[in-house]
Amino acid sequence: MRVLKEGYTIIKDGIGTEVQDTLEQQGISIIPEGSITLPKGYESGGLHCGLKFKRKDIGWIVSHVPAQAAGVYTTNAYQAAPLQVTQESIAQEGKLQAVVVNSANANACTGPEGLEDAYAMRTLTAQQFGVPEHYAAIVSTGVIGERLDMDKVRSGIEEMDQLAHAGVANFEKAILTTDTCTKSVAVQCEIDGQTVSIGGVAKGSGMVHPNMATMLAFITTDANIEQTYLQNALKQATDHTFNRITVDGDTSTNDMVLLLANGEAGNDPLTLSHEQHEVFLQALIYVCEALAKMIARDGEGASKLIEVTVKGAQSEAEAEQIGKAVVGSSLVKTAVYGTDPNWGRIICAVGYSGQTGYNPDHVSVHIGPIEVVHEGRPTSFSEEEAKRVLEHSTVSITVDLHAGTQTATCWGCDLTYDYVRINASYRT
């Protein structure tokens, strides 16, 4: 079992000066201790109901008023029952007010009985918080193929009004599975003279691959925003962040990103025609990117974050596909773990990415600041210096196709012995 680093959040590793400066230029401020309750009108908490042996395993987020809601879900054909029920809730009116999340059990591949349990969980949530059923969302994560112990779930939901269980830190811990730490971030910006806050919390460590993975993310904002725009903004942010991470190449049955906007900030409604809509979008993208990188860094058994930037592509989609191929390569991942500057593995991944809009003889590759391939040919570089670069906690790889002007960045982690150990005994 992986050990949870109590009270530690990866965002506290720090933020690069360049990123900080860019955000400030856009009027966006990072709030170091912020989370999903930084925006006005939200409460959260978590407790232990018995699904896990000791650790917290059920949590909640509640908005004081109905909030516009947007969601993005796994592309796995086996969508877990909670995803089906939550999508049904949002489809009715485009709003949510209460979200309950359990860990330890995914309620996936559990047949009609599992769907009944999911509906029952939604009913219990709605009753507990006094909201219509279609304003309640439910989320599950954990082991696939086992029925939920509904007696334990019921007792947990019924205890959610106890003050001892309140607090965002309890929620952040309650949603974890094999994660070693909690993951949260928050920002503020000014729109129409009003302070607008966005907070995010995520879990995810293994079974993580582009186009959603075994990850959950919950984002709240007090922005006043039109629901269609909210959904489009979330989709755009997800495409540029969560869909560009990979840990092990597996896509889960339960992945979900939920975004709630309750309008408590009091700004004019945000739509595409609002002159400051881009400020909100960039703030949202930052929150999603920060959470995505935390997930990648905390990959099961991982010791390093790998950041692959592909530039000089004919299209952003081409750059993204090549970046995913490189960061998802088991051989690249093991080379990074072993501090082996084996650039041949990087070039190989570029070649099998399926993208053809470049000339292989023009491709250059950098590991950190060190150029190891120049226009298709190896360079003379110091192996020892390259190894030192690969010892860093964040390893940057840059591939320049020299074929266009488009760029994309993808994130992953190294592959260590611990990944096998953790997953060989996941259920035991």
Q: Is residue 353 part of a domain?
A: yes
Which range marks the domain in which residue 384 is found? 305-424
CB atoms within 10 A of CB 384: 8
* Token representation of residue 223: 């922005």
User: Are residues 349 and 388 part of one domain?
Assistant: yes
User: Are residues 258 and 181 part of one domain?
Assistant: yes
Q: Is residue 67 part of a domain?
A: yes
Q: Is residue 7 part of a domain?
A: no
Q: 185 has which bridge partners?
A: 200
Residue 428 annotated among the catalytic residues of the structure? no
* Token representation of residue 383: 């192996």
Of the candidates 214, 221, 241, 398, the residue annotated as catalytic is 214
- Mark which of 297, 319, 346 sits at the end of a domain: 297
Q: Is residue 134 part of a domain?
A: yes
* Token representation of residue 275: 């002159």
Q: How far apart are the first and last CA of the chain?
A: 9
Q: Is residue 326 part of a domain?
A: yes
User: Are residues 401 and 365 part of one domain?
Assistant: yes
Angle between helices 316-328 and 330-337 (to 10 degrees): 60
pTM of the shown model:
0.89
Q: How confident is the model at residue 205 (pLDDT cuts 50, 70, 90)?
A: low
User: Are residues 39 and 77 part of one domain?
Assistant: yes
Q: How confident is the model at residue 16 (pLDDT cuts 50, 70, 90)?
A: low
User: Are residues 123 and 63 part of one domain?
Assistant: yes
- Mark which of 278, 297, 316 sits at the end of a domain: 297
The one-character DSSP state at 51 is S
Angle between helices 111-129 and 150-158 (to 10 degrees): 10
User: Are residues 184 and 73 part of one domain?
Assistant: yes
User: Are residues 324 and 272 part of one domain?
Assistant: no
106: pLDDT strictly greater than 60: yes
pLDDT in tens, 298-325: 877 678 999 999 999 999 999 999 999 9
Counted domains in the chain: 2
d(C-alpha 62, C-alpha 109), whole Å = 28
What is the three-class DSSP state of 167? coil
pLDDT in tens, 144-178: 899 999 999 999 999 999 999 999 999 999 999 87
Q: How confident is the model at residue 207 (pLDDT cuts 50, 70, 90)?
A: very low
d(C-alpha 375, C-alpha 288), whole Å = 34
Q: Which residue has the tokens 């650039």?
A: 343
* Token representation of residue 250: 């597996």
Higher-pLDDT residue of 195 and 5 is 195
d(C-alpha 357, C-alpha 318), whole Å = 8
Higher-pLDDT residue of 74 and 212 is 74
The sign of the CA dihedral 325, 412, 178, 171 is negative
Is 285 in contact with 240 (CB distance < 8 Å)?
yes
User: Are residues 203 and 111 part of one domain?
Assistant: yes
User: Are residues 272 and 155 part of one domain?
Assistant: yes
| CATH code where residue 383 lies | 3.10.20.340
The one-character DSSP state at 175 is T
Phi, psi of 44 (to 5 degrees): -150, 170
User: Are residues 248 and 161 part of one domain?
Assistant: yes
Q: Is residue 345 part of a domain?
A: yes
Is 230 in contact with 192 (CB distance < 8 Å)?
no
CB atoms within 10 A of CB 318: 22
Q: Is residue 8 part of a domain?
A: no
User: Are residues 349 and 251 part of one domain?
Assistant: no
What's residue 148's pLDDT? 96
Is 390 in contact with 339 (CB distance < 8 Å)?
yes
Q: Is residue 136 part of a domain?
A: yes
d(C-alpha 428, C-alpha 422), whole Å = 10
Q: How confident is the model at residue 9 (pLDDT cuts 50, 70, 90)?
A: very low
- Mark which of 234, 266, 297 sits at the end of a domain: 297
pLDDT in tens, 368-410: 999 999 999 999 999 999 999 999 999 999 999 999 999 999 9
Position 91, amino acid: A
* Token representation of residue 267: 């700004």
* Token representation of residue 291: 């959470």
263: pLDDT strictly greater than 50: yes
d(C-alpha 5, C-alpha 13), whole Å = 14
User: Are residues 266 and 316 part of one domain?
Assistant: no
| CATH code where residue 149 lies | 3.60.70.12
